[in-house]
Amino acid sequence: MDTGTIILILSFGIPILIVVGIIIWLKRDFGRLSKFAQETRKRQAEAKPAKAKIISVSQGLQGGDIKKMIFFTFEINDGYSAPYTASAGWFVDTLRLSKVQEGMEIEVKVDSTDPMKIYPAAGWAVYTEGYNSNLSVDKLSGR
């Protein structure tokens, strides 16, 4: 084989191997994310209903025109155990922000295995996993 043929093979072969490697990596990563999403949906479906009094509300940095990231501190009362405090971050429909003011009581779902995970019971909010309440506008601005 002459040098030109080797260079031609390498110039096409290496990029193809890199693209194939990236595709395999993405497929595995999306598979893990899909499994995580299925587990989260299952946990939310099995969650217990409860009432939550909103102790504090702060707007997060994320969000858009339709939904805003809102961080909550709740006083949870499930009717079986003593009321306790828990925090959650939800994406809330901006047209329903009036439903999530401090002092209001809303319906929630409490994870059956981790009572600190609080899911929304209504369709106007979406539970978010992994968002930190330290990213709220109030905390970043020093309030």
Does position 131 have pLDDT exceeding 80, yes or no?
A: no
Q: Which SS3 state, helix, strand or coil, does residue 108 take? A: strand
Same domain, yes or no: 37 and 97? no
Mean predicted lDDT score pLDDT of the chain: 81
For residue 96 the two structure tokens come to 């329903």
Please give the pLDDT value at position 136: 47
Which residue segment(s) compose the domain that 30 sits in?
1-45
Same domain, yes or no: 33 and 95? no
Same domain, yes or no: 70 and 116? yes
CATH code for position 76: 2.40.50
Q: What is d(CA 15, CA 36) in angstroms, rounded to the nearest whole number?
A: 32
- Reported as a single tens digit per residue, the pLDDT across 59-78 is 876 556 678 888 899 999 98
Same domain, yes or no: 53 and 23? no
Stronger pLDDT, 118 or 135, i.e. the higher one: 118
Same domain, yes or no: 7 and 62? no
Stated pTM of the model: 0.66
- Reported as a single tens digit per residue, the pLDDT across 117-127 is 899 998 888 88
Same domain, yes or no: 53 and 121? yes
Q: What are the helix (H) ranges across the chain?
A: 3-45, 137-140
- pLDDT tier for residue 49 given thresholds of 50, 70 and 90: very high
Same domain, yes or no: 40 and 52? no
Same domain, yes or no: 31 and 64? no
Most confident segment among 6-15, 20-29, 49-58, 66-75: 49-58
From first CA to last CA, the distance across the chain in angstroms is 71
Does position 29 have pLDDT exceeding 80, yes or no?
A: no
